[in-house]
Structure 1
Amino acid sequence: MIEPDDTDRAILRALARDAGQSAGALGRRLGLSQPATWRRIRRLQEAGVITGRVLDLDKEKLGFGVTVFLGVKLATKGRISLEDFERAVTAIPEVQTVEHVLGMYDYRLRVTARDLADFERVLRRRLMTLPGVGNVEANVLLSEERRPGPLG
């Protein structure tokens, strides 16, 4: 494990805002050379601090106007039923995230759909037929604010 210094944290904050910027542009903004910036980014990647880069798509402009969070409680629990559910749910393209959680539900899913009718189709034909599904609770996303993350 590495202990990021202030410069590393500045690099991480900048990459969290725009992961596509070049090491040269990032270095100029932080007062570092391109090679020094690149070495720091590479060190953070090798240490596992940076695990990838994400492309942020505008779902509405792509025709997906509804996001729903589902709480899923499995009817039966056990290692096999958890693995079967996880394998099946991750194969559904409308399911954006699958989180195994502690609490009232076993899983929290983020599902995107074109509209409510499309979501109902996904729910009835795909999600409710998954192995082990018991209770499901849906919460439709009304608005979302982006938070800067743990580095502020």
Structure 2
Amino acid sequence: MVTIDDIDRRILALLQQDASQSLDALGAAVHLSRNACWRRIKALETAGVISARVTLLDPDKLGLGLMVFMMIRTNAHAPDWLETFKKATQTMPEILGVYRMTGDLDYLIRARVADMADYDRLYQALIRRVPLSDVSASFVMEQIKDTHVLPL
């Protein structure tokens, strides 16, 4: 864990809301000069606290209106199977997140697709690439909260 102070936290909170803000605007908001603000941001990047700066897109406007959570169970737990699974899921752009889980479920996949036919295409492509024991899916009917903003 990296030690950060209150000014770093305020900078990070502002960047989480809008990473495209100018250094002048950020500096003014946290009462630092442009250069002092830039040095803090660079230090946070070097320390790995800031891992990327991205643009968030509206999936509905891009024809990807269906979010699906795929629950995966497998009988295979060997390192070579896991490597095949990782490579398969990492190369499929529809798959946004893959999580190894505790309990009854082995893996949880979060994906964005256009519709049910597109989901079926994703499902078929995944099972062709890696053997799975059981795949079930839940489709999001309403997104109540979805954020990348971490509590600081």
Normalising by structure 2, what TM-score?
0.90
Instruction: Give CA deviations for 1:90-138 in whole Å, capped at 9, x if unaligned.
Output: 1112111122222222221111111122112221x21222323111121
Letter in 2 for 1:150: P
RMSD of aligned residue pairs (Cα, Å): 1.5
User: What are structure 2's unaligned runs of at least 5 residues?
Assistant: none
Report the 3-state secondary structure (helix = DSSP H, G, I; strand = E; otherwise coil) of the residue aligned with 2:50.
coil
Letter in 1 for 2:135: V
Q: Distance in 2 between matches of 1:39 and 1:63?
A: 40
Alpha-carbon distance, 1:68 to partner: 0.2
Q: Distance in 2 between matches of 1:105 and 1:19?
A: 36
User: What are structure 1's unaligned runs of at least 5 residues?
Assistant: none
Within-5 A mapping of 1:100-139: 100-123=100-123, 125-139=124-138
Answer whether contact 1:2 1:47 (CA < 8 A) is retained. Answer: yes
Q: Distance in 1 between matches of 2:34 and 2:131?
A: 52
Kindly tell me the number of residue pairs found equivalent between the two proteins: 150
Alpha-carbon distance, 1:14 to partner: 0.8
Q: 1:63 to 1:53 in 2, by over 3 A?
A: same
Q: Distance in 2 between matches of 1:81 and 1:47?
A: 33
Show structure 1 runs of 4+ deviating over 6 A: none
Letter in 2 for 1:149: L
More displaced stretch, 56-65 vs 71-80: 71-80
Normalising by structure 1, what TM-score?
0.90
Answer whether contact 1:71 1:107 (CA < 8 A) is retained. Answer: yes
Q: Distance in 2 between matches of 1:146 and 1:111?
A: 14
